Amino acid sequence: MDFEELSLAVQKGKAKQVKELVNQGIEEGISIEKILNEGLISAMGIVGDNFKNNKIYVPEMLVAARAMSAGLAILEPLLTATGVKPIGKIVIGTVKGDLHDIGKNLVAMMMKGMGATIYDLGIDVPDIAFVEKAEEVGADIVCISALLTTTMPAIGDVIREFEKAGVRDKYRIMVGGAPVNQAFADSVGADAYTANASDAAENAKAFLLSKSNK
């Protein structure tokens, strides 16, 4: 199997070709982790860099992430069977009153692609649902998204629910969305703000790897 060919298929969003190449790699006896890391994750790293440098935009990034997810769907059960553990658990959702999901979905796919288990709560998520799911699954990170200036305050409401439950310090809370910025993140007590999906995945990965090394 040609890893460069697989990488290009991911970057161009060719999901069918990605699945064919991943299956070819498995048949050739290439390790599942190598296909994941050198084929899928490295490709999404290139996609993320291109996005940050304005070489591609959200539609291209979204189709690339979907192609990566198509390959990941084949690898996931095999990774589980071989005992490869995810690097962490992440709960993600869009706040109550907000029905936008493209940005949130992109972040979820990028984070899944870098090796985390994702629990996607969807859109219009009640404040307490973030706390309940994080506690239920033993999450490491909670990602909260708002795409409207009118729903931004709900991010603070979610964080206050964690405080009221007495579990705020158990989780790294990351926030993002078009109207969100660093000053707002600081004002509501978030642990991290990132401006795009690529940065969010890199931030989460760095945190999870540092946590696992402690």
Instruction: Identify the band that residue 147 occupies on the pLDDT scale cut at 50, 70 and 90.
Output: very high
Confidence of residue 154 (pLDDT cuts 50, 70, 90): very high
What's the CA dihedral at 78, 82, 83, 86 to 10 degrees? -40
Grouping H, G, I as helix, E, B as strand and the rest as coil, residue 150 is coil
Q: Identify the domain containing residue 62 by its residue range.
A: 3-81
Residue 58's pLDDT band, with cuts at 50, 70 and 90, is: confident
Is pLDDT at 47 greater than 80 in this prediction? yes
Cβ 134 vs Cβ 171: under 8 Å: yes
Q: Enter the DSSP assignment of 145.
A: E
The CATH code of the domain that includes 27 is 1.10.1240.10
The last residue of one of the domains, among 21, 49, 81, is 81
Query: What pTM, to 2 d.p., does this model score?
Result: 0.86
76 and 120 part of one domain? no
Whether 66 and 39 share a structural domain: yes
Q: Which of 36, 61, 81 is at the close of a domain?
A: 81
Q: Are 165 and 198 in the same domain?
A: yes
d(CA 191, CA 80): 30
Are the C-beta atoms of residues 115 and 72 closer than 8 Å to each other?
Answer: no
* Count of structural domains within the chain: 2
pLDDT single digits (tens) 124-137: 999 999 999 999 99
Instruction: Say if residue 72 is in the same domain as residue 177.
Output: no
- Tokens representing 24 are 């070819």
Q: Which helix (H) or strand (E) holds 48?
A: helix 42-52
Q: For residue range 170-205, what is the model confidence (pLDDT) as tens digits?
A: 999 999 999 999 999 999 999 999 998 889 999 999
